[in-house]
Amino acid sequence: MDTGPMHLLPNSCLKDSHYNGIASPVGCRWRLAWVVEWNPVLPSLLHNASGAEFLRYAPISPMFGAGFAFAGLWIYSSVWSMDLWHLPNFGITRRSFSGVSPLFTLLDLKCEGMNRVNALANPVELVDDGMDATIITGSLNFIDGTTTFNSATVAAVGDEFIAQDIGFQNTAGPEKHQAVALRVGADQSVINRCKIDAFQDTLYAHSNRQFYRDSFITGTVDFIFGNAGVVFQKSKLVARKHMSKQKNMVTVQGREDPNQNTATSIQQCNVIPSSDLKPVQGSIKTYLGRPWKKYSRTVVLQSVVDSHIYPAGWAEWDAASKDFLQTLYYGEYLNSGAGAGTSKRVTWPGYHIIKTAAEASKFTVTQLIQGNVWLKNTGVAFIEGL
């Protein structure tokens, strides 16, 4: 059961209207590291029923209030040491994305069965031991009364968000319809070597500039959606088996204004079926995407597209939005694989078989998200151009 969102708050967000309390991490094992201002915390050593040691940082500053202190931030380690300037030593090095130290900077996390997280800090890092080693889970969903926006297991809002070697999951299942595992609205955000796992609406690439590298993203209907300027590189985009009478859509892009520099760019990725979809892919149509809004933009560049992709490649949103087919921009460039052939693709005015490197380059890290400037500070590998 989801007990409510957990927030990671910097100075600027202490009075944020989105803050509505912190869920108690009962039943979780954490390994967290925070940078803390002088004298805002009171450490206390506690014991759980099995005798494992926990260090709780109980904030005593009035701006947090008793509710925050009660919920606590739990840091688990069998061996630890600290003083008012240093945190428990987990053998890790503090990283600073921009050189600015907020009240809290998350360095490292270890959790089993953690509840929802809203990452409002600027910057926040979620870093762990592997996409399958640590998985943050939630189950909020549309059918049970939560909006798509608020169903996210993890929501990253503060700029310069980094997630690395960690998993995000919404376990609601296909019968619950929209159920987001990760929502990102943080500018200059980086998702590296992560797994994002759900069914419908898995990844909400909501807004701003985002970069995904060496990640595994799986779902069914509209499983990558939003209106960010986003580039996926060297990642696996995995369509999975769903309920009957549905169609899989890898992407749904929501650009509403032709002046917006937003698009979904899939570069040097593998667009593949899951192991349960592959045997029945002939009976389940899977498309590269469909237009959520009038000026939707999505491109697939230099990627491997498997045979599960329906020959038409792209689908309409609905019968009432046929004018979108005139104004969208969908493109494919130098793809390979059994599903990459373009001879039977849609013939919409807005669909393009991209012919030149100059045209394809508009959707690269450098030109779409200006990542050649800010990604260098993250230590994450990236391809600037084609």
What is the per-residue pLDDT across 151-174, written as a single tens digit (0 to 9) for each?
988 888 778 888 899 888 999 999
The ranges assigned to domains in the chain are 110-370
User: Which residues lie across from 136 on neighbouring strands?
Assistant: 168
Chain mean position to CA 245: 27
Q: Which of 47-51, 81-85, 159-163, 376-380 is least confident?
A: 81-85
Cα–Cα separations (whole angstroms), residue 255 to 11, 93, 182, 206, 288 = 32, 39, 20, 11, 17
Tokens read off for 253: 């892009």
Q: How many other C-beta atoms are found inside a 10 Å radius of the C-beta of residue 51?
A: 6
3-state secondary structure of 295: coil
How far apart CA 145 and CA 41 sit, in angstroms, is 37
Residues 6+ apart with CB under 8 A from 311: 341, 344, 345
Share of the chain above pLDDT 90, in %: 56
Question: Alpha-carbon torsion 96, 180, 151, 131, what sign?
Answer: negative
Which residues lie below 8 Å from residue 124, measured CB to CB, with a gap of 6+? 8, 104, 105, 106, 156, 158, 160, 161, 162
Q: Which residue has the higher pLDDT, 116 or 160?
A: 160
Backbone angles phi, psi at 156, to 5 degrees: -105, 115
Asked if 113 and 25 count as a contact pair (C-beta separation under 8 A), the reply is no
State the chain's mean pLDDT as an integer: 74
Is 0.85 topped by the overall pTM?
no
pLDDT at 122: 58
According to the model, what pLDDT value does residue 230 have?
Answer: 99
| CATH number of the structural domain 110-370 | 2.160.20.10
Stretch 25-52: mean pLDDT, rounded? 29
Give the residue with greater pLDDT, 333 vs 53: 333
Instruction: Tell me the average pLDDT across 31-44.
Output: 29
pLDDT tens digits for range 217-257: 999 999 999 999 999 999 999 999 987 778 999 999 999 99
Identify the band that residue 266 occupies on the pLDDT scale cut at 50, 70 and 90. Answer: very high
Model pLDDT, residue 145: 93
> Which residues, other chains included, contact 230 with Cβ-Cβ below 8 Å and sequence gap of 6+?
205, 209, 210, 211, 212, 263, 264, 265, 369
Catalytic positions, written as ranges: 222
Is residue 275 pLDDT above 50, yes or no? Answer: yes
Rounded-to-integer distance, Cα 170 and Cα 206, Å: 17
What is the band of 319 on the pLDDT scale with cuts at 50, 70, 90?
Answer: confident
| Cα atoms in the Cβ-side hemisphere of radius 13 Å centred on 192 | 17
Could you tell me which residues are beta bridge partners of residue 118? 7, 155
Q: Give pLDDT, residue 206.
A: 97
DSSP state of 172: S
Mean pLDDT is lowest, of 37-46, 199-208, 272-281, 333-342, for 37-46
Of 147, 141, 101, give the one whose Cα is nearest residue 121: 101
137 phi/psi in degrees, rounded to 5: -120, 155
